[in-house]
């Protein structure tokens, strides 16, 4: 009987400790900043992107992918966006800056409602811009955000990827980070044929409800290297500890610095990293064919 009572006491204490850890994680993790790399030249969309940033290619109702991404951030409680850009992206700066002359012109013609959503978004969000070298990969782009991020968690969002979710994708990841106390990667199941085009996660344990403890990551692996079908899909909630690993990262096979390689090193060093299968639909707009699929879906679902 004594052993039973002791076991009950220990079990109760362990549960209390675990609950305290979860509550502490919830209190500590608050995400108010997003890092969005926008330095790519959009060569797949030439000649259009010769003068217009690829992030401004419209998807539905005149709204470009970058606005969908920023709206997702704002709906998730984020109020600061840092664009890691390059010298040929003036259009992005203009897009999120006021244009009083256009506003006045639209008002005189009762067409101001066309910009109401964008103008309201710009009032809610603070935008910053950092120029970076191009062609060095998203890992290098995220590293450029280090001065912008204090010792805090932050969101990283790829503008080629748009998410159609009832609960904003980044908010889903924030909730997982708060619950488990670690960095979180958005993932989606993909076919074996598509695995070589993505960063793939290795799974240590299924924690339930779409959450997995991660044991490793591989960037665009050969199929024989893959042990799960969960692909990284361009949304992250990250501990600022990631900068320590990005700072000493070596370039990958393509000569670029990959965020997935830094996350893999974090995992191997015992840092908590989780994967989460998002509740919603993911669209990759990085190629004309996949962009057209997103256009068809959003045109039908957004009236």
Check pLDDT > 90 for residue 90: no
Check pLDDT > 90 for residue 80: yes
Q: How far is CA 125 from the centre of its chain?
A: 17
Domain-by-domain residue ranges, the chain? 30-301
DSSP summary character for residue 279: S
Q: What is the CATH number of domain 30-301?
A: 3.90.550.10
Rounded to the nearest integer, the mean pLDDT of the chain is: 86
Highest mean pLDDT among 44-48, 57-61, 270-274: 270-274
3-state secondary structure of 257: coil
Q: Write down the pLDDT at residue 19.
A: 43
Reported as a single tens digit per residue, the pLDDT across 225-275 is 777 889 999 999 999 999 999 999 888 777 788 999 999 999 999 999 999
Q: Write down the pLDDT at residue 302.
A: 80
Reported as a single tens digit per residue, the pLDDT across 277-290 is 999 999 999 889 99
- Count how many Cα atoms sit within 13 Å of the Cα of residue 6 in the half-sphere of its side chain: 3
Residue 253, judged by CB atoms within 10 A of its CB (0-12, 13-18, 19+), counts as exposed
CA distance 229 to 285: 21
Helices (H), the chain: 2-28, 65-75, 90-95, 100-108, 116-124, 138-143, 169-180, 242-247, 259-268, 288-301
Reported as a single tens digit per residue, the pLDDT across 154-207 is 999 999 999 999 999 999 999 999 999 999 999 998 887 777 777 888 889 999
CA distance 298 to 5: 59
CA distance 264 to 89: 31
Check pLDDT > 60 for residue 4: no
Q: Write down the pLDDT at residue 303.
A: 66
Check pLDDT > 50 for residue 2: no
When mean pLDDT is compared across 4-13, 70-79, 107-116, 206-215, the lowest value belongs to: 4-13
End-to-end CA distance of the chain: 67
Reported as a single tens digit per residue, the pLDDT across 112-122 is 888 888 988 99
CA distance 111 to 198: 42
Cα–Cα distances in angstroms (integers) from residue 274 to residues 77, 106, 161, 203, 263, in the given order: 21, 47, 20, 9, 10
């Amino acid at each position: 009987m004594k052993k039973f009572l002791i076991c009950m006491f220990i079990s109760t204490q362990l549960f209390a400790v675990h609950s305290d850890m979860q509550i502490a994680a919830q209190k500590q993790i608050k995400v108010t900043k997003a890092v969005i790399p926008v330095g790519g030249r959009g060569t797949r969309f030439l000649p259009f992107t010769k003068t217009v940033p690829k992030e401004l290619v419209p998807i539905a109702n005149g709204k470009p992918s970058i606005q969908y991404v920023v709206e997702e951030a704002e709906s998730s409680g984020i109020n600061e966006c840092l664009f890691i850009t390059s010298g040929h992206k003036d259009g992005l700066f203009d897009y999120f800056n006021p244009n009083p002359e256009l506003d006045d012109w639209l008002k005189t013609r009762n067409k101001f409602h066309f910009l109401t959503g964008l103008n309201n978004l710009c009032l809610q969000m603070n935008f910053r811009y950092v120029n970076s070298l191009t062609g060095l990969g998203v890992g290098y782009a995220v590293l450029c955000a280090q001065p912008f991020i204090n010792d805090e968690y932050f969101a990283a969002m790829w503008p080629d990827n748009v998410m159609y979710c009832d609960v904003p994708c980044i908010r889903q990841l924030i909730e997982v980070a708060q619950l488990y106390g670690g960095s979180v990667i958005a993932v989606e199941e993909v076919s074996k044929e598509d695995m070589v085009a993505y960063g793939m996660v290795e799974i240590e344990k299924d924690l339930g409800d779409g959450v997995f403890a991660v044991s490793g990551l591989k960037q665009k692996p050969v199929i024989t290297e893959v042990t799960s079908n969960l692909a990284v899909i361009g949304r992250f909630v990250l501990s600022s500890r990631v900068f320590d690993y990005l700072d000493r990262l070596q370039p990958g096979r393509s000569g670029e610095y990959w965020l997935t390689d830094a996350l893999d090193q974090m995992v191997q060093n015992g840092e908590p990293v989780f994967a989460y299968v998002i509740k919603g639909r993911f669209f990759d707009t990085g190629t004309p064919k996949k962009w057209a699929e997103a256009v068809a879906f959003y045109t039908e679902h957004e009236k």
